[in-house]
């Protein structure tokens, strides 16, 4: 499939056995003279030999850059370290940066590609479910700051997304569960058929291969279509992809980015948003119940960790969707459709968050 963005369009290739052919696929979209692979140690152990080997077999100079594991790597200090290593290795403007890993690596490496020598090509090779179904597609890159998540970054589209489903076999169970949150999100915002398929799965926490393939394919199709309509969030259409993220990002920020995975926070945020929608009567009461049941089936958390409501609210006020003093939420009207509301009463937000675990 293709993300259609005029002269910046790029393919998404989904399949198996792709890592060993990474260079072949890359050479179809660009001709790098030097490749820098940015990754993290757990991913490097499993996948760097195949990916780096494919480029070296083509005679392409290849530099490996490892960053620490975890969300903490989305920081100014790690970004500087990556850029320093790229400069030391003399990665030229004709070079290419390969993001090999999960969403953290993709966001960080994509931002490094956007600013190195004022921009070089980069390729997304996601190895986590969350990155395959969401983070690798769409060109949003960036880092976190103590004030909030993804507040510093750039829109910088990859030249290629290469999703090798074999890589998911090396994921720990918690990583697979976290990725399923973004799949559930895509069902809620755009595809009731996908949501139904997830509900019908006998073991969503350990999905069968055919269901996993469906999750990746449909999620990429949905996100590609939305990004093609509204690449830089100028019309508001792309904002629907932030369902669950207003509260989810706030939980991540208030928790210091180390207690819960991103997908786990999104699951909590989706349940909270759906409960607010039901209270506002924008959706039937069974909608939040179905979303919560699906999150539980995927072994995802549905309650906010014990954290002070004022800290959570402060983090929500840093959300990029905020207009003036008004929080904006993506709320479901039914499974498969959402709206954006900027008039949700703050007392309702507080009441639902407290009922879900926030404390004084």
Q: Helix-strand-coil percent breakdown of the chain, rounded to 5?
A: 50, 20, 30
311 is catalytic: no
- 262 among known catalytic residues: yes
Residue tagged active-site, from 47, 186, 262, 321: 262
Question: Strand, coil or helix: what is 160?
Answer: strand
Asked if 65 contacts 85 with a C-beta cutoff of 8 angstroms, the reply is yes
Active site residue 118: yes
Q: Which of 144, 150, 242, 253 is catalytic?
A: 242
| φ/ψ (deg, to 5) at 265 | -70, -35
Nearest CA-CA partner of 121 in 104, 97, 90, 155 = 97
The 10 Å Cβ neighbour count of residue 202 is 9
Catalytic residue among 74, 116, 223, 328: 223
Q: What's the CA angle centered on 325, arms 270 and 304, to 5 degrees?
A: 30
Task: Assess whether 275 carries a catalytic annotation.
Answer: no
Catalytic residue status for 249:
yes
Options 61, 199, 221, 233, the catalytic residue: 233
Given 249, 290, 321, 328, the catalytic residue: 249
List 14's β-bridge partners, or say none.
163
Q: How many CA atoms lie within 13 A of 18 on its CB side?
A: 21
Which residue among the candidates 34, 74, 218, 245 is catalytic per the annotation?
245
Task: Measure the CA–CA gap between 179 and 215, rounded to whole angstroms.
Answer: 10
Catalytic member of 238, 261, 290, 328: 238
Q: What is the 3-state secondary structure (H, E, C) of 196-236?
A: HHHHHCCCCCCCCHHHHHHHHHHHHHHHHHHHHHCCCCCCC
Q: Look up 47 and say whether it is catalytic.
A: no
Task: Decide if 177 is catalytic.
Answer: no
Catalytic choice (25, 34, 74, 140): 140
Q: Which one-letter DSSP state was computed for residue 258?
A: S
H/E stretch holding 193 reads: helix 192-200
- The answer to whether 159 is a known catalytic residue is no
Which residues are the active-site residues?
118, 140, 182, 223, 233, 238, 242, 245, 249, 262
């Amino acid at each position: 499939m293709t993300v259609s963005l005029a002269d910046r369009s790029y393919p998404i290739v989904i399949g198996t056995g792709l890592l060993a052919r990474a260079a072949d696929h890359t050479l179809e979209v660009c001709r790098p003279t030097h490749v820098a692979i940015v990754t993290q140690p757990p991913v490097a152990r499993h996948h760097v030999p195949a990916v780096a080997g494919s480029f070296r077999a083509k005679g392409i100079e290849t530099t490996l850059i490892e960053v620490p594991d975890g969300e903490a790597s989305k920081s100014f200090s790690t970004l500087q370290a990556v850029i320093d290593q790229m400069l030391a290795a003399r990665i030229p403007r004709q070079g290419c940066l390969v993001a090999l890993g999960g969403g953290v690596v993709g966001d960080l490496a994509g931002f490094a590609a956007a600013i190195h020598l004022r921009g070089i090509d980069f390729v997304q090779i996601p190895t986590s479910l969350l990155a395959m179904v969401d983070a690798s597609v769409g060109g949003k890159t960036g880092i976190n700051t103590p004030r909030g998540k993804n507040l510093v970054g750039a829109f910088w589209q990859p030249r290629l997304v290469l999703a090798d489903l074999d890589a998911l076999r090396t994921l720990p169970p918690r990583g697979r569960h976290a990725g399923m949150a973004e799949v559930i999100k895509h069902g809620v915002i755009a595809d009731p058929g996908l949501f139904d398929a997830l509900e019908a799965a006998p073991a969503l926490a350990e999905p069968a291969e055919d269901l996993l393939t469906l999750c990746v394919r449909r999620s990429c199709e949905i996100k590609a279509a939305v990004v093609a309509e509204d690449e830089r969030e100028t019309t508001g259409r792309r904002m629907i992809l932030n369902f669950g993220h207003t509260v989810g990002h706030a939980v991540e920020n208030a928790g210091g980015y180390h207690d819960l995975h991103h997908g786990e926070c999104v699951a909590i945020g989706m349940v909270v948003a759906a409960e607010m929608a039901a209270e506002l009567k924008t959706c039937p009461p069974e909608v939040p119940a179905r979303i919560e049941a699906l999150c539980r089936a995927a072994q995802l958390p549905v309650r906010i960790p014990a954290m002070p409501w004022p800290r959570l609210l402060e983090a929500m006020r840093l959300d990029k969707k905020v207009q003036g003093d008004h929080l904006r939420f993506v709320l479901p009207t039914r499974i498969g459709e959402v709206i954006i509301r900027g008039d949700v009463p703050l007392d309702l937000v507080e009441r639902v968050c407290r009922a879900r675990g926030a404390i004084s």
